[in-house]
Chains A and B, each alone.
Chain A
Amino acid sequence: MTRKNKYSDINEASRKIIEKVKAQELIPDETIKKSWINIENELKKRARFSKIKVLFLAIAASIIVVFISKIFYDNMFFYNDNKEITSISNICFYDTIPQDFEDVALRTETETAIIKDKSQLQYNSGDTYKEKNEEELNHLIVPYGKRIQVILSDGTQMYVNSGTQLIYPSRFIGATRNIFIKGEAFLQVAKDNEHPFIITSESNIKTVVLGTSFNISTQKDSVFSVVLVEGSVKVETSESDIIILKPNEKYLNDGVSQSVNSVNTSEYIAWINYIMYLSGKNLGYVLNDLSIHFGVDIICDPNLRSMPTGGKLDLKKGVDYALSVLSESLDLTYNKNEKGVWIVKKE
């Protein structure tokens, strides 16, 4: 092979590499346009806060005026007998859970209660921070690294994962039982055929439940999924699309398209028992998940990110144990720096 040919081969191959990289890095315009909306919302919020300060000064004491998130507009008015609006709820999701929430918290119109060292929250059992009014809205905040089990007034059981917020009434009144979710939870819904149980995600997708157990998850960038274990659910998106799920099916909506696939449900609900299935995911992805679960920062050497992992991780013993098991299986080492960031690297 002459020198000239060799270099033209290199150039040709290099060109191919560059084309491949460019193709791999494409991000669809739809996704980018959707993410711009977050910026619009943040800008509106900042503008509104400065306007509200002025309003408070000008309005009489008997009226409460606070801004509310658009999605919940229709659901949060309370009417008296004359169908006049008596108050507007100020309960709505945080875009991201504020740093000052270190423990699970329960917010109502009037107060915020911190729930420390309790793994279960049950309604209808007389503790003071629940059910003050007939249908008081509760905003449950579960920060990263924490989790809690909740039993609602109708007997529905929810296992709520880290980094999740839920809004629901202390008691279910009315034709349907409505709750709102931003994050991930596994629900075992109490059967009541007269009163459908409806969960609405922050992207306004409604999951209508017909007495069953399933895992529901919303993530950033409008990713939404439901994994059905038992029973039957109906998923309605805002495009008036209705999909009915059968057991062992997973519905996924990434903000652009929807899909339904058969899955092994144990992988998706293993988190309830503090187990994480690795199933070949690469190290970078796994560390990200661990980071969310434990509520700590975990990073690794760039060259290690695509290492494949396998098997299961027991998360009950904490982040140190989980990282030690993971590192040993991959011949790596790890440590924690002064700011509490965990770093994984080659031995």
Chain B
Amino acid sequence: MKNLSDLEIWDLCVKGNKKAFEQLYLRYYELLYNYGMKIIDNRFIVSDTIQNLFINLITKYQRLSKTDFVKGYIILSFRNLLFDTLKKRDILSNYTEISDTFSISSLDDYFESEEIMLLQIKKSFQELSSRQQEILYLFYVRNLTHKEISVVLEINIQSSKNLLNRSIIMLKEKISKKGEHI
């Protein structure tokens, strides 16, 4: 089971194979957990949502259909379930707020170093919009392809490429501006 590709695993899932779902869970838990925590910083809500997602997928496997973008589909389903949960508790009141919630709240969690360059990158990154931060995270840290990102963010592939390029350019500009003081 471990050696099968995502597509092969998904084919088994669509047929209701529980071991296949378990393999999917083991592969994607870390991604979903860390992604979810950037949307809502509450580990109970996030881990419960991941489990509910898989319980739903397994019990309603007949409704699943073949897809070429397993990773993207899983993240998108998780994202939607998370938002439904947050909406129920009035933490988000409408759909447009979704794109504003992504936040790596403090890169200080990740660093002890005071190197000037890193500080500049940190600050510049946090000045980007939620959407820009999100696509940089998905592309560089989680290594999603543009095809997969287009599924998750519900935009087309070209928009994904444009957004990524704009985000990188924006980030570099901000970093350079800060660097001019040196």
Which A residues are within 8 Å of any B CB, using their own CB? 6-7, 9-10, 13-14, 16-18, 20-22, 24-27, 29, 32-33, 35-36, 38-39, 42-43, 46, 220-221, 284, 288, 297, 299-300, 302-306, 337-339, 341
Contacts and interface: CB of A to CB of B under 8 A. Distances in A.
Given A10-B172, A284-B41, A306 B141 contact: no
A14 B121 contact: yes
Given A36-B25, A302-B105, A305-B105, A6 B179 contact: yes
Contact of B58 (A10, A18, A27, A43): A43
> Which of the listed residues A13, A284, A337 has the most CB atoms from chain B within 10 Å of its own CB?
A13
B interface, by DSSP: helix, strand, loop or mixed? Answer: helix
A22 B141 contact: yes
Q: Chain B, interface size: which category?
A: 35 or more
Nearest to A26: B30
A297 B89 contact: yes
Contacts of A337: 90
Interface of A is mostly: helix
B59 A43 contact: yes
Contacts of B118: 13, 16-17
Interface stretch (B65-73, B74-82, B108-116): B108-116
Contacts of B59: 43, 46
B105 to A, nearest CB: 5
Given A39-B55, A46-B59, 11 more contacts: A10-B172, A17-B107, A18-B140, A18-B141, A22-B141, A36-B26, A220-B44, A299-B40, A302-B103, A306-B109, A338-B90
Contacts of B121: 10, 13-14, 17
Given A220-B44, A299-B42, A306 B29 contact: no
Contacts, number: 101
Contacts of B30: 25-27, 32
Contacts of B109: 24, 306
A20 B103 contact: no
A24 B104 CA distance: 13
A299 B86 CA distance: 11
A303 B25 contact: no
Nearest to B22: A36
Contacts of B34: 25, 27
A20 B111 CA distance: 8
B62 interface: no
Contacts of A39: 25, 51, 54-55, 58
A305 B42 CA distance: 10
